Chain A
Amino acid sequence: MQNSKLKIGDKTFISRLFTGTGKFSSSALMEEALLASGSELVTVALRRVDTENIDDDILKHLAHPQFNLLPNTSGVRNAKQAVFAAQMAREALETNWLKLEIHPDPKYLLPDPVETLKAAEELVKLGFIVLPYIHADPVLCKRLEEVGVAAVMPLGSPIGSNKGLRAKDFLEIIIAQSKVPVVVDAGIGAPSHAAEAMEMGADAVLVNTAIAVAGNPVRMAEAFKMAVEAGRMAFESRLAKPTSLAVASSPLTAFLED
């Protein structure tokens, strides 16, 4: 039996592993790793691609039918700039999908919730399929859902930190109450972290650094592919939770049996 497919906006995905394109030692290696990952949604920074050059090195290596491009707005500091950059990306890369990233803080790259909500609302009206990168903030996720985003992308821990699901308690709440798909983005440093997110019921994960800077990025991509599939399969198979329930020797409910 196959894992169920994931639907976001107008697209259906078999793979629940989304990937990033930064930090690889070459575009050729990036291509090989992403192919090995089975990923069907690949985020690419507008700042890194030369949209006027049809031979752009990054885009050339992403020209595979299974890769759907997810342009991101990394570098913008506010909603206004994000909306402008999104329109440039839509025109240049011919997709209305957008990973909305507004992190005015260039040190920790933490998202600005206020600007993100503002930009999301406007971009949805402009016809974008918006996937916002945000803190694991359950209320913000509901607000974004209300303005019409296609999915939410809360972070597991600070981006690039490889620390795993430090925001687990909040992610659980988000997953429990979200009506749109939840993609855990940022901080996933090992396949076990990805599997953990999937077992919790996340709809997908996005991984970049852990694959790109691994000793062998291609094998690591494959490891993530397997972990995501295993985690999802476990979730769909209704994973038995660890229990500490014991049977007392003097049951409190014995009187009900009389």
Chain B
Amino acid sequence: MFKELFDNYNWDDVKASIYAKTERDVIDALNKNNRDLEDFKALISPAALPYLEQMSQLSHQLTLKRFGRTMQMYVPIYLSNECQNICTYCGFSFNNHIKRKTLTNEEILKEVAAIKEWGYEHALLVTGEATQTVGVDYLKNAIRLIRDQFSNISIEVQPLNQDEYEILGAEGLNTVLVYQETYHHENYKTHHPKGKKSNFYYRLDTPDRLGKAGVHKIGLGVLLGLEDWRVDSFFTALHLDYLEKTYWQTKYAISFPRLRPAEGVILPKMELRDKELAQLICAYRIFNGEVELSISTRESERFRNNIIKLGITSISAGSKTNPGGYAVDPESLEQFSVSDERSPKEIAAMLRQQGYEPVWKDWDLALMTTGHGK
């Protein structure tokens, strides 16, 4: 399990070694063919900022080679905002007095009908953590309900046990996104004071359980800005590297949620500027030519228009981050505020204009029908 590897590292030592990287280290990293974690440190260090243009060119070339001139389209469907966790940065936090809602079958289908109109084939189901109402049975039911209408179904929900992932996998689940939020063990507790989520190691070893369960793709990430994003990103890369070597049949993706203002939440401890987010995206691509890199509607129109050429391979559009936001109850409270409000059609047109083909379908349930793994 990743815990064993993780426990050999010390946050402050990692931080010191990232900030000690020099221009020479950056140049060496850029000139290599295969980069290791020390090179990744150099690429995310302040010393690499002057090389952002070179990093961008390299990242673009590497992405083109692997992914071609294509961009995967996906959309989140928020099924529930019920949550028993207190997370200091989240609009759905237990202690926030908002109207709670969990979609019924009829409501889910109404939401699905709305987003199918836009052409989506890849859907991401999102919930808070409320085991009584949105546990495995709820998720299993939701996947069954919609699987005929989507080629690829992902979830972003509370961490589950291996057998629970196996159950959902057999129903057609393809991908699970589970963000560590922060790898800072001590401060994790202050950001997550109450609820199941406050168990750091259970969350940390979730990707291991996913790997063992044979889930096809695992999405990793941290909430950028919660702690020093450079150190958190190093640990994400360490996690990725470990997982790729351990669960070699699994695909991996990285997301870049930046802490943004939401109802009743804290402000970022360390802000990540646009320039640094671009640096981080390029660093991942240069470190790993195959990992999928995803950008959401949290980011601005201008940033998204330009970042797609710097290594991004999948993009959401038209997203609503409130349960029922597409058709059932568009006025309800969102988890975080969407910055880029353009429609999927407008995003697709923007992509085409830049010479990218928006890909709606890149999976088929027929490819996993006889079960998962071996």
> A residues engaging B (CB < 8 A)?
22-27, 46-50, 73, 75-78, 80-81, 84-85, 88, 104-108, 160-162, 209, 212-213
Contacts and interface: CB of A to CB of B under 8 A. Distances in A.
A22 B65 CA distance: 12
A75 B370 contact: no
B287 to A, nearest CB: 13
Given A24-B357, A212-B69, A105 B249 contact: yes
20 contacts: A23-B67, A23-B69, A23-B70, A24-B70, A24-B357, A25-B355, A25-B356, A47-B362, A47-B363, A47-B364, A47-B367, A48-B362, A49-B361, A75-B364, A76-B367, A106-B250, A107-B244, A108-B290, A212-B68, A212-B69
B327 interface: no
B369 A209 contact: no
Interface in B331-374: 352, 355-357, 359, 361-364, 366-371, 373-374
A104 to B, nearest CB: 5
Nearest to A109: B290
Counting chain A CB atoms within 10 Å of each CB, which of B355, B363, B364, B374 scores highest?
B364
Contact of A105 (B248, B356, B364, B366): B248
Given A48-B361, A50-B361, A73-B367, A78 B374 contact: yes
Contacts of B359: 48
B374 A209 contact: no
Counting chain A CB atoms within 10 Å of each CB, which of B355, B359, B370 scores highest?
B370
B58 interface: no
Nearest to A112: B249
A7 B45 CA distance: 57
Given A23-B67, A25-B69, A78-B374, A106 B367 contact: no
Given A77-B373, A81-B367, A106 B249 contact: yes
Contacts of B124: none
B61 to A, nearest CB: 9
B170 interface: no
Closest 4 pairs between A and B when the two form their complex, measured CB to CB? A23-B68, A25-B69, A75-B367, A88-B366
Interface in B49-95: 64-70
Given A24-B69, A26-B352, A81 B370 contact: yes
B25 interface: no
A114 to B, nearest CB: 11
Interface of B: 64-70, 121, 151, 244, 248-251, 290, 352, 355-357, 359, 361-364, 366-371, 373-374
Nearest to B69: A25
B281 to A, nearest CB: 19
Contacts, number: 84
A78 B370 CA distance: 10
A46 B68 contact: no
A37 to B, nearest CB: 16
Nearest to A212: B68
Given A26-B352, A160-B66, 7 more contacts: A25-B356, A47-B363, A49-B361, A75-B363, A162-B65, A212-B68, A213-B68
Contacts of A48: 359, 361-362
Contacts of A105: 248-249
A85 B369 CA distance: 8
Contacts of B250: 106
A104 B355 contact: no
Contacts of B369: 81, 84-85
Contacts of B66: 160
Contacts of A46: 364, 366-367
Nearest to A92: B366
Contacts of B373: 77
Contacts of A161: 65
Given A106-B249, A106-B251, A84 B68 contact: no
A85 B64 CA distance: 28
Contacts of A27: 357
B366 A24 contact: no
Contact of A26 (B249, B357, B374): B357
Contacts of B355: 25
A32 B248 CA distance: 37
A209 B65 contact: yes
Contacts of A22: 68, 70
Contacts of A75: 363-364, 367-368
A107 B290 contact: yes
B366 A85 contact: yes
A22 B64 CA distance: 12
Nearest to B217: A106
Contacts of A50: 121, 151, 361
A75 B364 CA distance: 9
Nearest to B361: A50
Counting chain A CB atoms within 10 Å of each CB, which of B65, B251, B355 scores highest?
B65
A191 to B, nearest CB: 18
A98 to B, nearest CB: 13
A65 to B, nearest CB: 25
Contact of B357 (A25, A104, A160, A162): A25
